[in-house]
Amino acid sequence: MGKTSEQPLLSCRNVTKKFGSLVAVGDLSFDLAAGEVLGIGGPNGAGKTTLFEMISGQTTVTSGQILLDGRDVTRDSAVRRCHAGMARVFQLNTGFDSLSVRDNIRVAAYYGRRNRIMPGLGFSAEVETAVDDALERVGLVGRGRQSAATLTVIDRKLLMIAGALAMQPKLLLLDEPVGGLTHREIDQVAKVVAEVAASGVTVVLIEHVMRFLVQLSTRVMILHHGRKLYEGSATGLAHDPGVVEVYLGKEAGRDVAAMAAGKAEGMVRHAF
Ligand SMILES: Nc1ncnc2c1ncn2[C@@H]1O[C@H](COP(=O)(O)OP(=O)(O)OP(=O)(O)O)[C@@H](O)[C@H]1O
Ligand SMILES: [Mg+2]
């Protein structure tokens, strides 16, 4: 099967996840082109994290198909999908408190390596280079020896992103990367993600912080009860009556409209 330029990097086709009688994600289909930043929003329990679980292979689909680069990965293990180019940052902080910042990223880089033929032989130069690159991309250079247990909330989030980057993914899945951060910290993470996207990594991010979602996304998808409530531009989002009613509310809808307009003028970072 030849790869064409129109072939999506990721395709979800009629993906469904049921937990007993609860349909967490229902018959959801969308394509993602290489280079896009897809922002996913929606109320608590909408099925956003469950969608990531299915894409990254942490859980099975009840039905439907997931394709990466045109290849059906629906039945592949999480590690296989990782080696095929997917990396995921979890909603809750993961990471090893007993390890240094550098060792945390090393573990991720090692896990993400395609050819782990002889484990136990120590870390290769390739891993060390990937770790250095990841530390630099998130702005944690010089912090490698620090214990992960002593990191602040923002630095932990950056560490998690660094671990994913050290896997050198083509598709990066970020689940609420700025939850609980201050405005200034949100801007810091936004800058990191924008630079990652600019370097050619395709990004899917889940986020409730609309400023972050609008600022970074080339396309937005809003889920509600496991189904697509909206898919399109950030500008259209603010004017969609369903989204305003179910998710944003009138006041936040006006804010999002202003943000989207500001983004079009390249003003978001200064205006909010
Ligand atoms: N392992 C599970 N077993 C049973 N139900 C689950 C499981 N995981 C998720 N659910 C349910 O599926 C629905 C979707 O949950 P999910 O975590 O995907 O939502 P979310 O959109 O990520 O929400 P939030 O914004 O709060 O993170 C919820 O009703 C949740 O309770
Ligand atoms: Mg979630």
Q: What is the pLDDT of residues 152-201, one digit of tens each?
A: 999 999 999 999 999 999 999 999 999 989 999 999 999 999 999 999 99
Least confident of 103-107, 125-129, 138-142, 265-269: 265-269
Torsion sign, CA atoms 74, 80, 82, 84? negative
Angle at 79 between CA 12 and CA 14, to 5 degrees: 15
Measured from CB, residues less than 6 Å from any atom of ligand 1 are 19, 22, 24, 42, 44-50, 91
State the pLDDT at residue 166. 95
Rounded to an integer, what distance in angstroms lies between the CA atom of residue 113 and that of residue 167? 7
Mean pLDDT in the chain?
90
Considering every ligand atom, which ligand is closest to the CA of 50? Answer: 1
Q: Rounded distance, CA 212 to CA 209, Å?
A: 6
pLDDT at residue 123 in the model: 65
CA separation for the pair 215, 169 (Å, rounded): 22
> CA–CA distance from 201 to each of 26, 116, 210 (Å)?
28, 23, 22
Residue 261 binned pLDDT confidence (cut-offs 50, 70, 90): confident
Residue 156 Cα, ligand 2 centroid: separation in angstroms?
18
| Cβ–Cβ < 8 Å for 108, 90 | no
Q: How far does residue 208's CA lie from ligand 2's centre (Å)?
A: 10
Q: Give mean pLDDT, residues 48-70.
A: 97
User: In the listed set 168, 186, 219, which residue is the last one of a domain according to the structure?
Assistant: 168
pLDDT of residue 116: 55
d(CA 258, CA 240): 14
Judge whether 215 lies within some domain. Answer: yes
Atom in ligand 1 nearest the alpha carbon of residue 91: 27
Cβ–Cβ < 8 Å for 194, 164: no
Structural domain including 150 reads 95-168
Q: Is residue 24 part of a domain?
A: yes
Q: Answer whether residue 90 is part of any domain.
A: no
**pLDDT tens sequence across 78-127:** 999 999 999 999 988 778 999 999 999 999 988 877 665 555 555 688 88
Query: Does 191 share its domain with 266?
Result: yes
**Gap from CA of 21 to ligand 1 centroid (Å):** 13
Considering only CA atoms, which residue is closest to atom 6 of ligand 1? 19
Average the pLDDT over 46-65 and give the result.
97
Are both 173 and 247 inside the same structural domain? yes
Q: Looking at the 3D structure of the chain, how many domains does it have? A: 2
Q: 237: Cβ–Cβ under 8 A, 6 or more apart, which residues?
A: 214, 220, 222, 230, 243, 248, 256, 260
